[in-house]
């Protein structure tokens, strides 16, 4: 039970967790004394009532003493001080208008988040392009699954995290899980992999660490960080050499096989063993396990995706699925385990630099005309694509002079974080909307306190592509407004009086029209239907107006590609890719590889979870995980303080000595600021297609702290 300080009737509200992309179902029950209880919601099929520690304690942030309940503005003396809403909004609008007048619209930046609801993401993108007229908008979801999205579009013509529901996982024959640790990142999903094995299927985990997930696997492959591409190509080489290609499937449903095959044949097993450290017998066993059953899947996550070659790496794993006929068939396919709560929907509806609502391309004239008509503007008035997330952050204080930021904490979460912090400090003006004074909000000129998940309604889209309705369960504290109210207030002050409603359902109705006919078509979905059905998979187009009856409505699309892929000719495309080194390889000065990730009790930058006592007790701070052989060379014992140094800076934390990591690799979680900030070290080298930074591998040295 968590105290919110608010009285409301004790009526259970079915809703969804505010954290990861599982969007687990839960019930919230406010009590007369102001407490809020989380209880099971067994009717929601994804988690079937199960919740992790973060979900169980989610109401704690609603009542946190760190909660913001009044706007803050930067005083002439320097500190942030309380202000009225009118004063705060006037300051933001005035500074944005001044920057635009003096430097042009593209001197204004907008940075969003993968935790924003679909309604907020849609409105933020519309605000940037219609009210501000800037192309400079992107969001932290670029750091989540942009490489998988790019590879999926290239191969299948469409990106949806999972093109099938999670319930298909236990029904397949083998799953290769690449660079994912769901036992800690999304614990309720682990049951699907447990059920897979109980049903006689096999699980292969690819990870340089022996994680809690890897401990559950039938086979654990521990490649050197940054070599997942070579590993996938080595497996495809063996598929060809051992005669395991599904020739009929390749001929009937794919294109580009010969070039992809030629590239794979340059990655023979012994060569791949030298690159990855995965032995030839392990490679052969993985291929045998994957090809033995009738159906199989490959699921990737941040490990292979957060690399400067992430798009090609995911493409190589997709190639493996296509060559063996494991895509677009029942109980088979490639999928991506999206991380952020609305990482999928967040990029579908306009806060990504190159996209319009409905997953339309900003460079497509027909898409521009359609969305402009919904918005009531001239298509020529819409700006073109802007910078990707890191490039936008890197341009702060130079080309971009003022920034509006919602739902993100890049001081902790961005690569080369010390540099990003410096760029944020160099801005002429920074406005931040948040529920707490995050490390980024603390740098702002104006901070606006906004509502949280349980205090507002709105939709999110889970990793399955299932559109869900979060329901308002409690009244927000006095002094707090929603992000939609913020954008409405700013739009009016900047001369746009209409088109920015504050009610989420009104926004969603417009979103439906804007998405109609696009790849991510939501036009057949409405709030009433979401409440009745508990979620609808996109694409879900509206029926013909003449159809008339509720029985004619589209059922939604749980499983994509069963008949054809979303390309012009219906065929999937192989990617002719080859291994290449990481952007930064070890050398004499920096001889060890660093990889980063998460722990079960914290979430993303920790801005919310670090306010929860129970979670902090379980995961109180950062650490450096290293192998006993490396620890012995350094003279380091368990708990000793060590410093990790890269070309971008240094971070210090206690050592955790474990045989569950490669001797040439160290691991740090990235949830904390300060001297233990892992992203001080990480490399912002970008994938040429997805513009994903290389979070998962960089060269470092480790020193015993004195």
Residues 341-388 have pLDDT tens digits of 899 998 899 999 999 999 999 999 999 999 999 999 999 999 999 999
CB 63 within 8 Å of CB 31: no
pLDDT band at 11 (very low <50, low <70, confident <90, very high): confident
The enclosing H or E element of 272 equals helix 269-276
Q: What is the pLDDT of residues 54-70, one digit of tens each?
A: 999 999 999 878 899 99
DSSP 353: T
pLDDT higher than 80, residue 706 = no
Q: What is the pLDDT of residues 509-526, one digit of tens each?
A: 999 999 999 999 999 999
Q: What is the pLDDT of residues 217-276, one digit of tens each?
A: 999 999 999 999 999 999 999 999 999 999 999 999 999 999 999 999 999 999 999 999
Q: Are strands 592-597 and 698-704 parallel, antiparallel or unpaired?
A: antiparallel
Q: What is the pLDDT of residue 308?
A: 98
In this prediction, residues 83-99 reach a mean pLDDT of: 98
Q: Which residues contact 324 (CB under 8 A, 6 or more apart)?
A: 239, 244, 245, 246, 290, 291, 296
- The angle at the Cα of 565, spanning 562 to 570, to the nearest 5 degrees, equals 120
In the chain, the percentage of residues whose pLDDT exceeds 90 is 93
Q: What is the pLDDT of residues 664-673, one digit of tens each?
A: 999 999 999 9
Q: Give 537's strand partners.
A: 466
**Length of the chain counted residue by residue:** 706
In this prediction, residues 161-184 reach a mean pLDDT of: 97
Alpha carbon distances (Å) from 512 to 502, 527, 550, 631: 16, 11, 17, 56
pLDDT band at 543 (very low <50, low <70, confident <90, very high): confident
pTM of the model: 0.95
Q: What is the pLDDT of residues 545-599, one digit of tens each?
A: 434 445 589 999 999 999 999 999 999 999 999 999 999 999 999 999 999 999 9
In the chain, the percentage of residues whose pLDDT exceeds 70 is 97
pLDDT band at 34 (very low <50, low <70, confident <90, very high): confident
Q: What is the pLDDT of residue 551?
A: 59
CA distance 115 to 106: 25
pLDDT band at 3 (very low <50, low <70, confident <90, very high): very low
Q: What is the pLDDT of residue 705?
A: 87
pLDDT band at 636 (very low <50, low <70, confident <90, very high): very high
pLDDT band at 7 (very low <50, low <70, confident <90, very high): very low
Q: What is the pLDDT of residue 8?
A: 44
In this prediction, residues 669-688 reach a mean pLDDT of: 98
Q: What is the pLDDT of residue 674?
A: 97
Q: What is the pLDDT of residues 411-432, one digit of tens each?
A: 999 999 999 999 999 999 999 9
Kindly report the average pLDDT of the chain as a whole number: 95
CB 362 within 8 Å of CB 385: yes
Q: What is the pLDDT of residues 271-329, one digit of tens each?
A: 999 999 999 999 999 999 999 999 999 999 999 999 999 999 999 999 999 999 999 99
């Amino acid at each position: 039970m968590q105290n919110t300080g608010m009285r409301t009737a004790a009526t259970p509200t079915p809703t969804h967790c505010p954290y990861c992309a599982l969007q687990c179902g839960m019930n919230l029950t406010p009590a007369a004394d102001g407490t809020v209880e989380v209880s099971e919601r067994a009717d929601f099929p994804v988690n079937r009532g199960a919740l992790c520690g973060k979900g169980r304690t989610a109401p704690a942030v609603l009542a946190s003493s760190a909660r913001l309940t009044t706007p803050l503005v930067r005083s002439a003396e320097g500190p942030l001080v309380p202000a009225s809403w009118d004063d705060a909004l006037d300051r933001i609008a005035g500074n944005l208008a001044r920057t635009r007048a003096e430097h042009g619209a593209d001197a204004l930046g907008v940075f969003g988040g993968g935790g924003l609801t679909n309604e907020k993401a849609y409105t933020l993108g519309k605000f940037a392009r219609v009210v501000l007229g800037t192309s400079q908008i992107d969001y932290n979801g670029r750091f989540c699954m942009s490489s998988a999205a790019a590879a999926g579009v290239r191969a299948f013509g469409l990106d949806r995290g999972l093109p099938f529901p999670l319930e298909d996982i236990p029904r397949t024959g083998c799953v290769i899980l690449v660079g994912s640790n769901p036992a800690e990142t999304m614990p309720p999903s682990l049951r699907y992999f447990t059920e897979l094995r109980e049903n006689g299927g096999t699980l292969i985990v690819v990870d340089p660490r022996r994680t809690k997930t890897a401990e559950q696997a039938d086979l654990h492959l521990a490649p050197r960080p940054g070599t997942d591409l070579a590993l996938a190509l080595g497996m495809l080489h063996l598929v060809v050499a051992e005669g395991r290609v599904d020739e009929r499937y390749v001929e009937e449903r794919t294109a580009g096989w010969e070039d992809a095959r030629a590239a794979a044949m340059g990655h023979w097993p012994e060569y791949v063993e030298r690159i990855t450290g995965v032995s030839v017998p392990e490679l052969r066993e993985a291929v045998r396990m994957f090809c033995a059953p009738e159906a199989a899947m490959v699921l990737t996550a941040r490990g292979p995706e957060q690399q400067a070659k992430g798009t090609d790496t995911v493409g190589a794993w997709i190639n493996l699925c296509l060559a063996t006929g494991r895509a677009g068939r029942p109980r088979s396919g490639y999928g991506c385990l999206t991380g952020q709560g609305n990482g999928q929907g967040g990029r579908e509806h306009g806060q990504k630099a190159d996209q319009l609502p409905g997953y339309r391309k900003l460079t497509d004239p027909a898409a521009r005309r359609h969305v402009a008509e919904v918005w009531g503007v001239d298509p020529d008035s819409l700006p073109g694509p802007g910078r990707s997330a890191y490039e936008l952050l890197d341009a702060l204080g130079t080309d971009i002079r003022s920034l509006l930021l919602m739902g993100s904490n890049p001081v902790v979460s961005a690569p080369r974080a010390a540099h990003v912090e410096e760029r944020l400090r160099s801005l002429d003006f920074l406005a931040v909307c948040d529920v707490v004074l995050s490390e980024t909000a603390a740098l702002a000129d104006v901070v606006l306190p906004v509502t949280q998940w349980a205090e507002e309604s709105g939709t999110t889209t889970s990793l399955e592509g299932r559109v869900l309705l979060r329901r308002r369960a409690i009244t927000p504290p006095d002094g707090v407004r929603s992000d939609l109210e913020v954008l409405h207030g700013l739009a009016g002050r900047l001369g746009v009086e209409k088109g920015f409603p504050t009610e989420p359902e009104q926004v969603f109705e417009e979103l439906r029209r804007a998405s109609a006919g696009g790849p991510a078509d939501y036009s057949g979905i409405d709030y009433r239907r979401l409440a009745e059905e508990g979620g609808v998979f996109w694409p879900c187009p509206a029926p013909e107006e003449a159809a008339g009856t509720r029985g004619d409505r589209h059922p939604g699309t749980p499983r994509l590609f069963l008949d054809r892929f979303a390309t012009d000719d219906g065929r999937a495309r192989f990617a002719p890719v080859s291994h290449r080194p990481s952007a930064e390889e070890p050398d004499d000065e920096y001889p060890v590889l660093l990889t980063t990730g998460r722990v079960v009790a914290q979430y993303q930058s920790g801005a919310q979870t670090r306010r929860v006592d129970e979670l902090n007790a379980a995961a109180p701070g950062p650490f450096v995980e290293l192998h006993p052989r490396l620890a012995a060379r350094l003279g380091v014992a368990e708990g000793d303080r060590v410093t990790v140094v890269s070309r971008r800076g240094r971070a210090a934390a206690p050592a955790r000595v474990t045989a569950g990591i490669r001797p040439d690799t160290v691991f740090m979680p990235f949830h904390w600021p300060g001297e233990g900030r892992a992203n001080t070290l990480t490399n912002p080298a970008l994938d040429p297609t997805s513009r994903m930074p290389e979070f998962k591998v960089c060269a470092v040295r480790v020193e015993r702290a004195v």
